[in-house]
Amino acid sequence: MRKLSLFLAIIISLFTLLTPAEELYTAPLFVEYAMQQPLYTALLRYETPIFSDVELQNRIFYLGAGKRVDIYAVSPSRLLVGREGAIIGYINRDKLDDFTVENLQIDKIPNYPGVQNTYIGWVSETTPVLDSPNSLGSELITLNEGARLAFIGFEDGYGKLIFKKQYGFVDTRALSEIVPIDYLSEDPSLDYPIAAYTSFYNIATTENNLSRIKNLEVSCDKFEEITIKPGNNFDFNRDLGPYNARNGYFPAIVLVDGGSKLGYGGGTCQISSTLYNVTLQLPGIRIDHRKPHGPRGISYLPHGADAAVGNKKQNFIFTNNYPFPIRIEGSVQDGALTIAIWRAE
């Protein structure tokens, strides 16, 4: 039975423990992490100011480029870091050299910068995504009936997710259905996804942006034709390209060498980047090739969480190392792009 009642899902969520990496938005005191082991270790890309507060208001000192830090907690925009077993403060995520990150708890957490989502849900009525888990929060975007979302978990009656470079919250009373993500099972059911992720796109009604949204829909439609058998790989450029009118794509803005221009398939990088965040949650997926857009990252995801596509160097390729076939499913509605991976028949 695929459907899970909202009541049951919320009860289950009360027993779902979130790692420190998922709770940084509450600005915890350092003492709360005194007995914690670091999650990751990495080098700094730039000379980096260290702050005593998560809002980055009180700078206490600098660390030079190339210095190693341990990472104790991760939010969409901040890292809580330490050195030699002692926590020293907060930094911006973009100061980290993402290519040097090592996972220190590989059997417990996704590889950086992955975030484990535990449920997907469907919106039942017009409802906002808020910046805090209460009705007084500021509205980030408005969703309508049918929009699908991937949630980290639940907080004070709100579903918690990542909205671009911050957390977002959706009132669970506005959800018609919640389905658990079966990410722990060695023999997952066909009825539940094994991983999912939601990113948010621009909903402006300009001609170029409407074409970009159409390209998101075209890419998601192409997923329906693909099943990845055990040992086989998924090659984004091969399987969803070529990016031209004959293959159903529209001209829209594409990012090239730090700038932008009009090109067919604009928007497909958001599909590949969202899919990248799905695969990061799955130990049975081996990522073979991924290239970011550059050190500045992109606007619609946290820093270090993107995967560019479009040419030989910019491509996203992964191999299915699970003993069962998998399939990819995507939905595009009201600014919410949700991609999920399921076990296939």
When divided into structural domains, the chain yields a total of: 2
**Are 41 and 190 found together in one domain?**
no
**Are 147 and 157 found together in one domain?**
yes
| Residues ≥6 apart with Cβ < 8 Å to 157 | 10, 133, 171, 172, 173
Q: Which of 103, 130, 158 delimits the end of a domain?
A: 103
Between residues 229 and 34, which one has the greater pLDDT? 229
C-alpha span between 233 and 226 (Å, rounded): 11
**Are 96 and 26 found together in one domain?**
yes
Predicted confidence (pLDDT) per residue in 90-103, tens digit: 999 999 999 999 99
Give the pLDDT of residue 13.
43
Give the pLDDT of residue 265.
85
Tokens of 268: 């497909």
Q: Which amino acid is at 66?
A: G
C-alpha span between 189 and 327 (Å, rounded): 13
Dihedral in degrees, nearest 10, Cα atoms 178, 180, 181, 186: -160
pLDDT-derived band of residue 322, with 50, 70 and 90 as boundaries?
very high
Cα dihedral sign, 69-72-75-80: negative
Instruction: Establish if 109 belongs to a structural domain.
Output: no
Give yes or no for a contact between 240 and 307, defined as CB atoms under 8 angstroms apart.
no
Predicted confidence (pLDDT) per residue in 50-66, tens digit: 999 999 999 999 999 99
Give yes or no for a contact between 97 and 106, defined as CB atoms under 8 angstroms apart.
no
pLDDT-derived band of residue 269, with 50, 70 and 90 as boundaries?
very high
The predicted model gives 310-327 an average pLDDT of: 96
State the residue range of the domain holding 329: 1-18+115-345
- Identify the CATH number of the domain in which residue 25 sits: 2.30.30.40
pLDDT-derived band of residue 112, with 50, 70 and 90 as boundaries?
very high
**Are 12 and 88 found together in one domain?**
no
Give the pLDDT of residue 36.
84
